[in-house]
Amino acid sequence: MKIDYGEPFVGRAGKLMNMAFQTVGIKREEVYIANIVKCRPPGNRNPEEEEAFACLNYLRNQVILVKPEIIVLLRKCSIKKYFRKRIWNYS
């Protein structure tokens, strides 16, 4: 049985992200990563609108506490939640 430690981006996407950080001289420990939802949806699917909304205040509080200089949105579902009116299709 695989244990989920709750750390985001630990698979192939995480390896790619770590390589990108390394290329520009950033250590992963210097980056704070937050997810739009606080628990993984079944089958690692994109979260439903209700699931994202249920976690919204938690995410807002994380941003307030961390006070990031830069926020980077990854994946279509995060971008879609933030930019509700304009979504570009890159597929």
pLDDT tens for 41-63 read 888 788 888 888 888 889 899 99
CA distance 47 to 10: 18
Predicted TM-score of the model (pTM): 0.66
What letter would DSSP give residue 6? -
Rg of the chain over CA atoms, in angstroms? Answer: 14
pLDDT of 70 > 70? The answer is yes
Q: Which two tokens stand for residue 83?
A: 């930019």
Mean pLDDT along residues 62-79: 84
CATH superfamily of 12-82: Uracil-DNA glycosylase-like domain (3.40.470.10)
Q: Which two tokens stand for residue 67?
A: 């006070």
Domains of the chain, residue spans: 12-82
Q: What percent of the chain has pLDDT over 70?
A: 78
CA distance 14 to 84: 26
